[in-house]
Amino acid sequence: MFLIFKRLWQVNWAEQWQYRANLLMYLFYWLVSPIIYLAVWTSIANVKGSVNGFTANDFITYYMVLLICDQMTSNIVIHTFAYKIQDGTLSGELIKPIHPLLTNGLVNNIAFKVLTIMGLLPIWIILFFLFKPNFSGVAITGVLLSIPIMVVAFFIGYLLSAAITSLAFWTTRVYSIHEFYFALILLFSGQFVPLPLMPKLIQDIAQYLPFQLFLYFPIQLILGKLSTDQIILGYVMAGVWLVIAIVTFNWVWRQGVKQYSAVGA
Amino acid sequence: MRIFKLLSAFFKVNVQMSLAYRADTVVNILLNLMWLGWELLSLNIIFNNTDTLGGWGLGELIALLGVFRLVNTMMIAFIWPNTEKFNQSIRDGSMDYTILQPVSSMFLVTFSRITVWRFWDLILATVLIVVGVNMSAETTTAPQILTFILLAITGMIIIYSLWIILIALTFWFVKFDNNVTILQALMDSGRYPATVYPAWLRIIVTFIIPIAVATTIPLQALRGELSAIQIAVFFAVSVISFFVASRVWKAGLRQYSGASS
């Protein structure tokens, strides 16, 4: 099994490396909104002193850490896999004795992540000097505690996206469904603004959803803003949602493969 | 007149193409409404926490959202689909047929693909602008509204000219099919007044990729913040950039050597 992953890594790394120019473009594209949100909220905080307890530096550090957490926990499985179901190229992968999404698809995503994080680092350092964040609140325990959370959050996100991608077995409009899912993430993850600034109702719902584990929870954990109780609760939620994601994905995938019609074969 | 006949023919063909995917159109409009809801919610969140954003009130930001959607519609209805077609035609050489037509090739490349359902966004954008202007406390005068419309048009011409130059570069560098990503990426910056951005970002979105020229600047005219000289400058810049763009386009065409034939 280890050898399989090693070979898959070599293949997928080489493939992603081929597209490094596109990848830089993607990175640039993805960077713009967090920087705009950062600019909007720091300008408000600068005028008012603080917004609901958040100072300008709080916003700067929040979005600077968000850039890293988002790269750690997000995935692109919808773009790399849905078309394979639609045009029938999945057939070749289904014959192999390994799970297409949990081996090849996963390694492909991770290779993509590693490359984008490599590309992000120099940009992040430039932004660091442009915005001059003060990271004095960051403690090493928070950073260490956030790593397992980000790994688990990546797997939760990957499995949920993979489940949505698998809807391509039934419908060609899977991209629209994914767009809706993306809007849910935007609403409940803390991507637009730290969750305490959201309307009360959204905060209450967000607590029980997995999306805050992608961004808000690890960011606040790194910045040292969570109490022990909140950290424990976050870990419990991560465990629960990992189980839900595994079960959901497995079920959708199994039903989907039965449905698969191997277009073009 | 021939231009209008051609436009209506393009429109007809594209309506027919989209009628083949009726359900998709409905889904797209629903998603579009969802994003409008999100945009209004995000403005609501901002103004729950503050009274002004860089001196602008909620009404002005709603109007800005309307202008943003107008520019965005131009992008999504014309620029993105035609870019895709154009890049394809450079790669496979079907650009030959476009050049052979007895009409300006720049015109054909701009209008041959139209995402028809996006036109409904024009109504939404207009409603947002009217509601936003009415909500803002200051009274607006007729000349302000006229300069607003004028500058919105000049802004779009400037962005359009930049687009022409970017895709014309493909004539020299055939593999340059990321040509419009930079335009696409910075689009989102048009949702908020550029005056709140840090200086380096403001310079980028005003002078390099001038999204703000078509969004923030017209709104500033509406607020009566621009002098007559500034308005004249923007007008002159749009005329010059259109002229430069059509020159670059023609130079590019001379460079084009076909692909397969």
Of the candidates B23, B52, B196, which has its C-beta nearest A40's C-beta?
Answer: B196
CB contact under 8 A, B45 and A198: yes
Neighbours of A199 (CB within 10 A): 11
Contacts 24+ apart (CB under 8 A), B131-134: B131/B59, B131/B62, B131/B63, B132/B59, B132/B60, B132/B61, B132/B62, B132/B63, B132/B64, B132/B65, B132/B66, B133/B59, B133/B63, B133/B222, B134/B59
Q: Chain A residue closest to B204 (CA)? A: A32
Q: Which residues of A touch B196 (CB under 8 A)?
A: 39-40, 43
pLDDT tens digits, residue range A137-166? 888 999 999 999 999 999 999 999 999 999
Interface test with A, best of B49, B75, B204, B216 (most A CBs within 10 A): B49
B165-171 mean pLDDT: 87
Q: Which residues of B touch A49 (CB under 8 A)?
A: none
pLDDT value at residue B36: 93
pLDDT of residue A147: 95
Are A112 and A30 within 8 A, CB to CB?
A: no
Averaged pLDDT of chain B: 87
Segment among A108-117, A204-213, B106-115 with least mean pLDDT: B106-115
Q: Is the pLDDT of residue B247 over 60?
A: yes
A216 pLDDT higher than 90: yes
* CB contacts, 8 Å: B45 with chain A: 192-193, 197-199
Pick from A33, A43, A198: CB nearest B54:
A43
Provide mean pLDDT across the span A38-48. Answer: 91
Residues of A whose CB is below 8 A from B24? 173, 176
Q: Is the model more confident about B185 or about B156?
A: B156
What average pLDDT does this structure show over A234-239? 95
A240 touching B (Cβ < 8 Å) = no
Do A173 and B52 count as a contact with CB atoms less than 8 A apart? no
ipTM above 0.90, yes or no: no
C-alpha angle with apex A27: A222 to B79, nearest 5 degrees? Answer: 140
pLDDT of residue B259: 67
Chain A residues with CB-CB distance to B201 below 8 A: 35, 39
What is the pTM (predicted TM-score) of this model?
Answer: 0.89
CB-CB under 8 Å, A197 with B178: no
Interface test with A, best of B32, B50, B209 (most A CBs within 10 A): B50
Task: Give Cα A214 to chain centroid, integer Å.
Answer: 6
Interval A211-231 mean pLDDT: 94
Cβ distance of A183 and B38 shorter than 8 Å: yes
pLDDT in tens, B184-214: 888 888 999 998 999 999 999 988 888 888 8
Q: Which member of A22, A43, A199 has the closest CB to residue B45?
A: A199
Q: Which of A43, A197, A200, A201 to probe the B interface (max B CBs under 10 A)?
A: A43
pLDDT tens column, A84-105: 888 888 888 888 888 888 888 8
* pLDDT, tens only, B211-225: 888 899 998 888 888
Residues B105 and B98 sit within 8 Å (Cβ to Cβ) = yes
pLDDT of residue B84: 86
Q: Which of A31, A35, A197 sits opposite B49 (nearest CB)?
A: A197
Mean pLDDT, range A36-52, rounded to an integer: 90
What was the pLDDT predicted at A182? 94
Pairwise CB contact (< 8 Å): B196 & A176? no
Please report, for chain A, the start and end positions of each structural domain, with discontinuous segments joined by +: 2-259
Q: In sequence order, which residues have a C-beta less than 8 Å from that of residue A75 and are 6 or more positions away? A: A109, A113, A154, A157, A158, A161
Q: Do A47 and B52 touch (CB under 8 A)?
A: yes
**What is the C-alpha separation between B227 and B76, in angstroms, rounded?**
32
What is the reported pLDDT for A264?
Answer: 65
